[in-house]
């Protein structure tokens, strides 16, 4: 299974080197030829792109997709995913650059793709946890998940999970490249699409660790945008003859 790990960045020069080292370890422990990394950089002024280009793996297993503007997490992922689909990869992993997602869990998540369509690195299933989060962030994340689950009627526990492994065929089937959300609502939108389509979803427990360098991109405005979009999606379902363009709801399969 050929896999590419997509890492969107904006001003992550302080954290990306550590992540790349962790990903090198993952590659060394498995089949090096089967895992590549694509950094999608939105014109970071801190030299993130130059750091990628200077890395010894650049041009081999590490690639850079440079964009000229910062127009949201969803847009960055769609650009990276389009490149990955065109590259013929069998699996695509979404991963943050700030060190919050444990690279060591990638092999287990890819293994679960043998029997599932998408695997979420989940904080909110048994065995999952968060570390070093201030109370405000814990409350914001918990409320966002509870809100999305209630409004959209979702069964997934970590609807906003940003650490995901996909079978490429499932990602295309879910219409991820046709999504419109730009911020963290991108994760909720894809969870919703997966459930409505009846894709086989697993939630693999991870420990999410708060970044120790750089600046978080989460803000009250980003959270409000996601909340409004969730409500719009549900209202569209209620006023449409079809639940969602990707298909009808189906049974979920969990680990």
Three-state secondary structure of 39-57: EEECCCCCCHHHHHHHCCC
Least confident of 67-71, 180-184, 212-216: 212-216
Residues 6+ apart with CB under 8 A from 35: 3, 4, 5, 23, 26, 27, 61, 106
Torsion of CA 27, 28, 31, 32, to 10 degrees: 60
Of 187, 177, 80, 170, give the one whose Cα is nearest residue 118: 170
Strand partners of residue 62: 37, 58
Q: In this structure, what token pair is assigned to residue 131?
A: 């570390």
Query: Is residue 82, in this structure, part of any structural domain at all?
Result: yes
Confidence label for 219 from pLDDT (cuts 50, 70 and 90): low
In this prediction the pTM is 0.88
pLDDT of residue 252: 35
Query: Is residue 79, in this structure, part of any structural domain at all?
Result: yes
Of 70, 63, 120, give the one whose Cα is nearest residue 89: 63
Query: Is residue 245, in this structure, part of any structural domain at all?
Result: no
Domain assignment of residue 97, given as a range: 3-238
Model confidence at 44: pLDDT above 90:
yes
Question: Could you give the CA distance from residue 64 to residue 72 in angstroms, rounded to a whole number?
Answer: 17
pLDDT of residue 239: 85
| Domains of the chain: total | 1
Looking up residue 215, the CATH number of its domain turns out to be 3.90.550.10
71 against 131, higher pLDDT: 131
Q: Answer for the pair 69, 34: CB distance below 8 angstroms, yes or no.
A: no
User: What length is written for the chain?
Assistant: 255
Query: Is residue 50, in this structure, part of any structural domain at all?
Result: yes
Least confident of 49-63, 186-200, 221-235: 221-235
Of 46, 47, 51, 37, give the one whose Cα is nearest residue 8: 37
Query: Is residue 252, in this structure, part of any structural domain at all?
Result: no
Distance in Å from the first CA to the final CA of the chain: 21
Taken in order 21, 25, 31, 34, the sign of the CA dihedral is negative
**Span 3-21, mean pLDDT?**
96
Q: SS3 of 63, please?
A: strand
Q: Answer for the pair 131, 207: CB distance below 8 angstroms, yes or no.
A: yes
Query: Is residue 244, in this structure, part of any structural domain at all?
Result: no
Query: Is residue 249, in this structure, part of any structural domain at all?
Result: no
Query: Is residue 65, in this structure, part of any structural domain at all?
Result: yes
Summarised one tens digit per residue, pLDDT across range 188-212 is 999 999 999 999 999 999 999 986 6
């Amino acid at each position: 299974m050929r896999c590419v790990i997509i890492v969107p960045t904006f001003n992550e020069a302080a954290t990306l080197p550590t992540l790349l080292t962790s990903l090198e370890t993952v590659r060394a422990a498995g089949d090096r030829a089967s895992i590549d990394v694509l950094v999608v950089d939105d014109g970071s002024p801190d030299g993130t792109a130059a750091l990628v280009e200077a890395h010894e793996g650049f041009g081999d297993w590490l690639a850079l997709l440079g964009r000229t503007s910062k127009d949201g997490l969803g847009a960055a992922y769609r650009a990276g995913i389009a490149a990955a689909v065109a590259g013929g990869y069998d699996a695509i992993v979404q991963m943050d650059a700030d060190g919050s997602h444990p690279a060591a869990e990638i092999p287990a998540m890819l293994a679960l793709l043998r029997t599932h369509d998408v695997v979420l690195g989940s904080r909110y299933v048994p065995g999952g946890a968060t570390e070093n989060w201030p109370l405000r962030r814990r409350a914001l994340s918990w409320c966002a998940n509870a809100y999305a689950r209630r409004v959209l009627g979702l069964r997934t526990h970590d609807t906003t999970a940003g650490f995901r492994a996909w079978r490429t065929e499932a990602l295309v089937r879910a219409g991820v490249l046709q999504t419109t959300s730009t911020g963290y609502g991108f994760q909720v939108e894809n969870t919703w699409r997966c459930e409505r389509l009846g894709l086989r979803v697993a939630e693999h427990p991870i420990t999410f660790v708060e970044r120790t360098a750089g600046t978080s991109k989460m803000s009250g405005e980003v959270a409000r945008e996601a909340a409004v979009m969730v409500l719009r999606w549900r209202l569209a379902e209620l006023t449409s003859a079809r639940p969602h363009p990707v298909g009808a709801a189906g049974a979920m399969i969990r680990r």
